[in-house]
Amino acid sequence: MHAPLPEPIPVEMLLLAYRSGIFPMADRRDDPELFWVEPRERAIIPLDGLRISKSLRKALRQERFSVTIDKAFDEVIAACAAPRPGHPESWISMRIQASYRQLHEAGHAHSIECWREGELVGGLYGVSFDRVFCGESMFSREADASKVALCWLVALMRYAGFQLLDCQFMTDHLARLGALELPQGDYLERLATSRGSAQMSLPRAYQEILIDAQAHHSSPGKFIAQSLTQTS
């Protein structure tokens, strides 16, 4: 018989950790233990600095994927936790996954999904509080799927009045998308200035974008591509 999993991290404890600039990780998928991470350097993507390549702009404008929010949170986090080439183990343990499920139910964790012909082909998830979104992980089963999800996230954050998109650790992939690296002290200052309520929730911003796109006689993808290009 399998030993019962430890209790998920309480919602308030997780939120306190994120507001303090730290987050949990595990060594492997079935690890009942976890550790708290406070990076010396922190990656962020400025909401007016997302770099959109021609191919990504084309994917948005052509509506290559159908994009939703919070439609398949469990499936997205499971896909992010799945083994990948060169990374047989995931830091997203079953305990951490259960903890984010509780955050999601409390309205503080969201997923953005990309679909093609009814099949989930990419997406991302993260933690939302104040005017901050901490991106946790993303996955892609088709070219540009996770990047399209990121474009939607940035557009939603801008609509909702968010200020800070935290990407935790810098990678070459994030750098190509416009991410910047900050000392943890500078990140904490930005975190402090992003306190307070956003103008609306990300799911509400999603609905507002659909309404505004229709009012402009445009598809949502074209509407987002245009709005992001104007400030990128």
Q: What is the pLDDT of residues 71-94, one digit of tens each?
A: 999 999 999 999 877 677 799 999
Work out whether strand 119-129 and strand 132-140 pair parallel, antiparallel, or are unpaired: antiparallel
Type of residue found at 28? R
Q: Which residues pair with 69 in a beta bridge?
A: 112
Kind plus residue range of the DSSP H or E element containing 121: strand 119-129
Q: What is the pLDDT of residues 172-231, one digit of tens each?
A: 999 999 999 999 999 999 999 999 999 999 999 999 999 999 999 999 999 999 989 765
Measured CA to CA, the distance from residue 20 to residue 36 in angstroms comes to 11
User: Which CATH topology does 11-228 take?
Assistant: Aminopeptidase (3.40.630)
Contacts 24+ apart (CB under 8 A), 54-58: 55/144, 56/144, 56/147, 56/148, 56/151, 57/225, 57/229
Cβ-proximal residues to 122 (8 Å cutoff; 6+ apart), any chain: 65, 113, 114, 138, 139, 140, 141, 142, 144, 145, 146, 148, 149
Q: Tell me 65's DSSP state.
A: S
pTM: 0.94
Measured CA to CA, the distance from residue 115 to residue 179 in angstroms comes to 25
Q: What is the pLDDT of residues 19-74, one digit of tens each?
A: 999 999 999 999 999 999 999 999 999 999 999 999 999 999 999 999 999 999 99
Measured CA to CA, the distance from residue 175 to residue 155 in angstroms comes to 19
